[in-house]
Structure 1
Amino acid sequence: MKHLIALATALTLAAASVLFSAANAEANERYGKQKVVYHINYDGGQDDKKYRGARRNIQNHSNAVGAENMDIKVVLHGNGLGLLSQAKTNEALRGQVLELKGQNVAMHVCNNTLKGRKISYENDLFDVFAEDIVPSGVAELSHLQLQGYTYIKP
């Protein structure tokens, strides 16, 4: 009896794997390769709800198209830097940022905002390095769109 249950479980997992692979192949065929820039310049709201919503949008997009088919940039300026500021102390938000970065999602941080608000990227923001800093968030958005990136503001 145990062998039958094990066999049934193995067959179920194999069938699910085939269906997932077929669905993934269909999505890859439908959507192809994509270059996308997500624009975050707003406060996260109560309990970081807006930031978590943006992260979900990015993750769902990547899941649908396939991370290997995505080139995703996130441009943060103004109040949007709150996402990386709050991630310094918010473990859940920190994990979400790391999860996205682990999928090659690039975070571009506006130098104008850093200077204007006297924010130290090394001390005040989570997991930001010199190469993540761009001169201007809005100029970066335009620059990326000229390179063929689709603009999305979650």
Structure 2
Amino acid sequence: MFAIRSAAIAAAFSMLTIAAQAEEVVHKLAIHVDQNDPAVMNLALNNAENVRHYYEAKGEKVQIEIVAYGPGLNMLVAGESPVEERISAMSLESPEITFAACENTHRNMVKKAGKDVPLMSEAVMVPSGVVRLMELQAEGYAYIRP
């Protein structure tokens, strides 16, 4: 009887361990960039890399989204971004870091420029940067603004 109980307890413990592994926690971070300032852009990228390295060293997963709008959208303008090369390299090395571009801001940039303003291929257009940040926070993302 004791052996059967011990086996049942061991099996239950094993099932709990498997369930915990199946429900692996993914840390989530939203980073807000709304300034056309290379120092702010680099700080945002540094924050993303530091967080990714931290969780990678712990063997844990992380998802990071950098949301650019307003003057910060210049971070994602092809051929103009002061951090374009760094973003391209990061995207290749770190697929867990993504870049969201505000469509409202982009539309206004195009209107003001009177021509197309191409964004980097790494940028994913979202209807509104502010709304995207709200959605990410509702999904459990931590929020920082460098």
Asked if Structure 1 and Structure 2 have the same fold, meaning a TM-score greater than 0.5 normalized by the shorter chain, the answer is yes
Evaluate the alpha carbon distance shift between residue 59 and residue 128 of structure 1 in structure 2; reply closer, same or farther with a 3 A threshold. Answer: closer
Measured after TM superposition, the shift of residue 89 of structure 1 is 4.7
Q: What letter is aligned with 2:127?
A: P
More strand by share: 2
Q: Provide TM-score, normalisation by structure 1.
A: 0.65
User: Which stretches of structure 1, 4 residues or longer, exceed 6 Å deviation after superposition?
Assistant: none
Bigger proportion of residues as helix? 1
Contact 1:33–1:65 under 8 Å retained in 2:
no
Contact 2:67 2:99 survives alignment (8 Å): yes
The gaps in structure 2 that reach 5 residues or longer are 1-24
Q: Could you say which residue in structure 2 is the equivalent of 1:51?
A: 41
Q: Residue 51 of structure 2 aligns with which residue?
A: 61
C-alpha separation between the residues in 1 aligned to 2:98 and 2:133?
A: 13
Percentage of matched positions with identical amino acids:
27
RMSD: 2.4
Aligned length: 115
Q: Greater CA radius of gyration, 1 or 2? A: 2
Tell me which of 110, 121, 129 is aligned to 1:127. 121
- The equivalent position to 2:74 in structure 1, one of 65, 82, 99, is 82
**Cα separation, partners in 2 of 1:69 and 1:112, compared to 1, 3 Å:** same
**TM-score, normalising length: structure 2:** 0.68
Q: How does 1:1-154 map to 2 (within 5 A)?
A: 33-44=26-37, 48-66=38-56, 69-85=61-77, 88-89=79-80, 93-102=83-92, 103-104=94-95, 105-118=97-110, 123-128=117-122, 132-154=124-146
